[in-house]
Amino acid sequence: MPHKERIKMTIAKELEKQRLVKAKRLQKDENIYFKAKEFWLNKKGCPIGTVPICRITQEQLQSTKDASLSMANESLAEDIIDFAGISINASPEIKSFTSISMSVTLYNPQVNGLGQYSSATIFLQSAANVPNFEQIQARWIVYSKLYGDSRTRLYSHWTKTGCYNNICPRFVQLDNEVPIYYAFPKISRRMYDDYELQLQIYKDEDYYLFLHYIFVIGFWPETIFNELRNGSQTVRYGGQAYTPAGEPNSPSMGNGNYQDDNPHITCHMRQVLYGVGNNQDVQPDESLVQTHQSRCYHEGSEYNGHDGYWDYNFLFGGGGYC
């Protein structure tokens, strides 16, 4: 089937699903995590058949272009990118990864400069040594330069060129209530980790972004990728913070605190899973897990509870100012 026709069918199926889900919510008044009234002035979201697209001014457009350049040039020597978390590489037993998912506590870390960001993220990425390195990221993020505020928001970033959210004409938005730049109205407090974000990136020819297994936010057509067309070679989970050159105090990560063995006061990821072939719920092979820490940011207390709630989980974070 031609790719354009397949995309049309995907959109049609998603619209029908939205109609059915909305009808079910009206009948049962289900207590779902995301509610349109918490984000939209009209309390409803967009009509079925339309999707939310952010309206921006010329000044905001320039700010987003500057932010995009920052994202694309994170690896420059004078800028600092810090990552604390875990990664798993493909192996003879795992030829490639076809999905990645986890649940992470929602926090609002402090950033100490306009160009900084702090996030909790998942990555699907190609091998690092290929000529055309590619990746897809999904995360919650605090990034004042991009959004003009310090709220915790949903965010996506893909390929090496710095495309993000739906500013680039590549990500296809499907959900009519939860946009890719969604600002979370409720954030956890230390000792009260009430609010979580469940994210999944799933490959079914194209790459789909799911929230809480309820919302299909949208998808990336496989045609925009080369290295990732047959799956990824690495999956990564953890916290990521960015400090541009000239800003001496780095942002906090997670909830700004790190204490081993205490998920109630430290940001954590649980139900860490990846997909291999047709099995989308593979718990990490602990012999393949690599851990990462950076400067004043920490990762630890990783273990597998095998209990259907925690399963594979770990802590990450730090106070910044390094």
pLDDT bucket at 60, cuts 50 / 70 / 90: low
Over residues 244-286, the pLDDT tens digits come to: 988 889 999 999 999 999 998 999 999 999 999 887 789 999 9
Query: The tokens of 258 are what?
Result: 């790190």
Q: Are 211 and 217 in contact (CB under 8 A)?
A: yes
Q: Reply yes or no on whether the pLDDT at 72 is more than 80.
A: no
More confident residue, 280 or 145: 145
pLDDT at 234 over 70: yes
73-102 pLDDT, tens digit each: 444 557 899 999 999 999 998 999 999 999
Which domains, from first to last, does the chain contain? 3-317 (2.60.120.200)
The structure's pTM equals: 0.86
C-alpha to C-alpha distance for 264 and 27, rounded to whole angstroms: 36
What local confidence, expressed as pLDDT, does residue 110 receive? 95
Task: Say how far apart CA 72 and CA 164 lie, in whole Å.
Answer: 10
Measured between alpha carbons, how far is 278 from 272 in angstroms, rounded to an integer?
17
